[in-house]
Amino acid sequence: MATSSDKHDVFLSFRGEDTRKNFVSHLYEALDKSGINTFKDDKKLEKGTSIPEELPKAIDESKFAIVVFSMNYATSGWCLDELVRIIEGKIQRDLTVVPIFYGVNRYEVGEQRKMFAEAFDKHEANVDREKVQIWRNALCRSGGML
């Protein structure tokens, strides 16, 4: 399915602690059985470090991105960095993005309500304000644009 310019058909963005061993593992297996080349990062991501080089590259080399929004998605700077890159891909090269709202709804995500509001309160105290605003903008877009 991936063309010569695309290394992956699909990039999966998800919060591992929420969905890795249940929903995402089943989704990945179904995609794989269907012959869909899917990038799923299984490495444990260390808190406080920046997104590894392989993730933006994998996003850029994918035709589709599936973003699994879950209760703790916004607590992860890694997930938010991925989301920013995915939104950039949608705008710049027409990356097809499929949102899945797992235990949350699009309004909680886009308007940063409930758990998303709590996550951003913590980010505001620990992360550069400009970066937090970039993350907020990506979530706003994802709630309404995707």
Q: Which residues are catalytic?
A: 82
> What does the radius of gyration of the chain's CA atoms come to, in whole angstroms?
14
Of 124, 2, 15, 118, nearest in space to 76 by CA: 15
* Whether 82 contacts 137, CB under 8 Å: no
Quick one: residue 85, left, alpha or beta (phi over 0 = left, psi -120 to 50 = alpha)?
alpha
Q: Which of 50, 117, 44, 48 is nearest to 139 (CA)?
A: 117
Give the rounded distance of the alpha carbon of 82 from its chain centre: 5
